[in-house]
Structure 1
Amino acid sequence: MDIVICEDDLVQLERVKKTIENYAMMEDNGMEVVLATNNPDDVLSFLKSGKADCYFLDIDLNHEMTGIALGSQIRETDPIASMVFITTHAEMSYLTFIYKLAALDFIIKDNPDILKEKLLSTLKEAHRRYLKIGEQDTIQKLQIKTNGRIQNIDFQNIYFFEASPDSHKIILHLENEHIEFYGRLKNYEDLHSDFYRCHKSFIVNKSKIQNIDSKERVIFLDNGEVCYASARLIKGLLK
């Protein structure tokens, strides 16, 4: 679960970051702080190239952009990420409802000990929701476990599944990455209408196909990779 923190107080920023990182290390649950900054512009730049699964935002950022405004921009690109506001201004919590930000929690940072306790309880709930994402059909994500970590991968980012030479393993081909995990291809044949079992060793995402050499039964993907089709199954793919 990737986490972004935006807090203008550098001492507080480091405290929140350390609390999360220590918890992640103790639990070995794959949580990672991918950005910790006191500048909301850094978060906006981050959103141009990717998105996180959970955001911890201070409301008063000592910047022309408030945490509420930043949260609104995050929501435009990511409607399902967990969002947590941290502030000394309890009276401002109503703003998260006015702007329909669907905040997971609102943490008051007036006591360091209580802050840590509240951070951890909120973090656990955010992680619980993150693990549920792969179970929701409407989200269109594949949830896999690799090296003891959970990953949620958008269906649209998958190019093809390949049976690994290692028994009972699958190689998942993304645009610029290969991920190996335990599983059987037959369990992913009907995962989505875009996925087609084209060979005993391959399931291809039809939306990622660039062209097909039907004579050689080679499938060329948009990212430059190739996979193969069997004589029997290529007919269905061409159809």
Structure 2
Amino acid sequence: MSKFPIIVCDDDKDLANQIAKNINASIQDLIDDNEGYAELNESVTFVANDFAQAVGYIVTNDIKNGIYFLDIELSRESKAKNGVDLAEFIKKNDENAQIIFVTAYDKYAPLTYRRRIGAIDYISKSMSSDKIIQRIEETLRNAFDNLSNRIKFSQRDFTYKIGRRVCKVAEGDILFIEHSTTQHKVHMVTEIGEVEYKANITQIDKENPFLAKVSQSSLVNPKNISAIDTKERIIIFDNGQMVTYSRSYKAVVKKLVDKFENIKVE
């Protein structure tokens, strides 16, 4: 299975196969013209001609980190599932999905916005073959870069235990971890909520180099820091939450500011 599976879905079989050929040609052009893509080993994984075929393949093969070229109008029947329905299904099953609509009907674009599909491109079937290949190459470059970055920065999991239950949260979602008011527990704040569990700050620090210790009782994820108030010694996160850092960790905080461009100094 490819690292980034590529799936085409169009109810016109000839057109679907032509899109697949254009995608494979565009990938070869990317490899030939850009050293950064020399190790790409991708090609079209599956060509579907209706909603059910595409869904069956995605579910059976548990597709993740996929790139999907979808026709919006998958059937002439008004009640049939269309490409927007398929994109919605894909997004629920593959959170990193890169969706590209290949369509002759621009009128459908507002529907995709209303349903928060988040397509990365719309390619018109009315363009010339050369223009379509050029556009596919541009959008593939964007899709490969998006997926590589998401895998690199967001996909590793942080594991912790609550009783006998093993829990996971993506490293990229953690804001900070601090001592809890309850003895022998820590308080973890993430982008999706908060949790307390039995653990030791020093041990967490040793095992998780992506976190930075800013006091004897606090660890922070520098990638989610939006600003630092050096006068008040306060670290401010993207969601507005704050942590105070110790005077003895001023040098550590300075290194974070120098290393991470996302951090503003106030």
Give the structure-2-normalised TM-score: 0.50
Aligned match of 2:43: 32
Per the TM alignment, residue 97 of structure 1 is displaced from its structure 2 partner at its CA by 0.7
- The CA distance in 2 between the partners of 1:140 and 1:32, in whole Å, is 26
Alignment of 1:1-239 (within 5 A): 1-26=4-29, 27=31, 29-49=40-60, 50-52=62-64, 53-62=66-75, 64-111=80-127, 112-136=129-153, 138-140=154-156, 190=208
Deviation of 1:48 (Å): 1.6
What letter matches 2:63 in structure 1? K
Contact kept? 2:70, 2:83, Cα under 8 Å: yes
Partner Cα separation in structure 2 for residue 105 and residue 81 of structure 1:
13
**Alpha-carbon separation, structure 2, partners of 1:5 and 1:97:** 21
What is the percent sequence identity of the aligned residues? 22
| Partners of 1:105 and 1:57 in 2: CA distance | 11
Amino acid at match of 1:14: N
Larger gyration radius, structure 1 or structure 2: 2
Amino acid paired to 2:72: I
**Moved beyond 4 Å, runs of 4+:** 189-192
Long gaps (5+) in structure 2: 32-38, 158-168, 171-206, 211-266
RMSD: 2.6
Q: Which amino acid aligns with 1:114?
A: K
Structure 1, gaps ≥5 residues long: 142-154, 157-188, 193-239
The AA in structure 1 aligned to 2:114 is I
